[in-house]
Chains A and B, each alone.
Chain A
């Protein structure tokens, strides 16, 4: 079990800056995020987006901001659990918390900070009947372990870079590969599209354009995908795996079941310290809600600073933090 002062859920810019503010007050932090890398939506969705409203930066690219935040918190040696979703938060008798992820990782923390942004980023799922029946039994929404597809029959769906890249990667290792795309051509990287058409010409790929997977068949595990084209012509394709790659969309996820006061999928907080209705649990950044809330990174940074002052009292058993200016004290690491 991981032991820490603050467990921060969410490794976006606000979660990372919370590590800094907590570090200034000598609180250790463990950061957990469902995404496999830090940076939240900045790294996952728009790494090259220019951001103009960060003080001191006339303009900064989203990923550059994440990289700098990561560097800024290095002195405080935060630890991370990435690629796992926090499922449970259980309050202990001594008012500390034990958090548990979907992979069974446990973290014991004196206080919890939810910096979950828009929630968890989860795969967009196609609207297919009985889809859930085959999850884990032939359907993968992400390619985590490509070696499992060796000598298998695989159907990939999607027209974005992810679908093209994985199709190219899998072409030489699977027994049979089908790519289904509802459009007639691929935009995105021209080089990738060219490779896809070449693979189809070489007979290494069954390319189904203007088509969609419209039904799944199997008996406990996936056996076949029904692929239907725009003209209505349908074909059954033997499939050990169906890999729909339609990108990610935000979902609130397990946060909804943590007994927090929610308002329109955001957590209500006390604006004095961004505490929630559960003592010892704070919510900062886009995940929280209060009168006048501005969903800006800038606002999340401010909230992180106030949260840290309050969380210090929780972590230190009631002591009040004394505000120390970094200009005077510098950054004193652990």
Chain B
């Protein structure tokens, strides 16, 4: 099935994208495929934090694994709902989830 993901960008705009649950994709891969500014430098191994998002939806309860927590620990700015999108597999339970992009853009 396809689920809906609501994405809040830096300017406050909220866009909704659809994502398939049957293709073993992560939220990071969906964001990249949708042209969001996600560098995903490490390729999805929880090693760079360039896919940092904040989950604004408190019904999402999947816990972060140790590797993800380790990486989040190194960041200067996180919240209690910070996650790495590369560590969030797209599942039916995520339907309607709201996230905010937190990754630093690759800028001058």
* Chain A residues near B (Cβ < 8 Å): 41, 45-46, 49, 118-119, 124-127, 157-160, 162-163, 181-183, 186-188, 244, 246-247, 249-257, 265
Contact = CB atoms under 8 A, between A and B. Distances in A.
Contacts of A265: 105-108
B104 interface: yes
B73 interface: yes
B75 A246 contact: yes
The 7 A-B residue pairs with the shortest CB-CB distance, nearest first, are A256-B108, A160-B74, A159-B73, A126-B76, A246-B76, A252-B108, A187-B70
Interface stretch (B9-17, B23-31, B46-54, B84-92): B46-54
Nearest to A119: B106
Interface of B: 39, 41-43, 45, 47-50, 66, 69-70, 73-78, 104-108
A102 to B, nearest CB: 15
5 contacts: A160-B73, A163-B74, A187-B69, A246-B75, A250-B41
A118 B41 contact: yes
B74 A247 contact: yes
Contact of B74 (A127, A159, A257): A159
B41 A45 contact: yes
Given A119-B106, A160-B70, A188-B70, A247 B50 contact: no
A125 B107 CA distance: 14
Contacts of B107: 251-252, 256, 265
A274 B27 CA distance: 32
Contacts of A163: 74
B39 A118 contact: yes
A124 B41 CA distance: 15
A251 B108 contact: yes
A315 to B, nearest CB: 29
A46 B48 CA distance: 8
A71 B8 CA distance: 46
A312 B88 CA distance: 47
Contacts of A256: 107-108
A249 B52 CA distance: 12
A183 B73 contact: yes
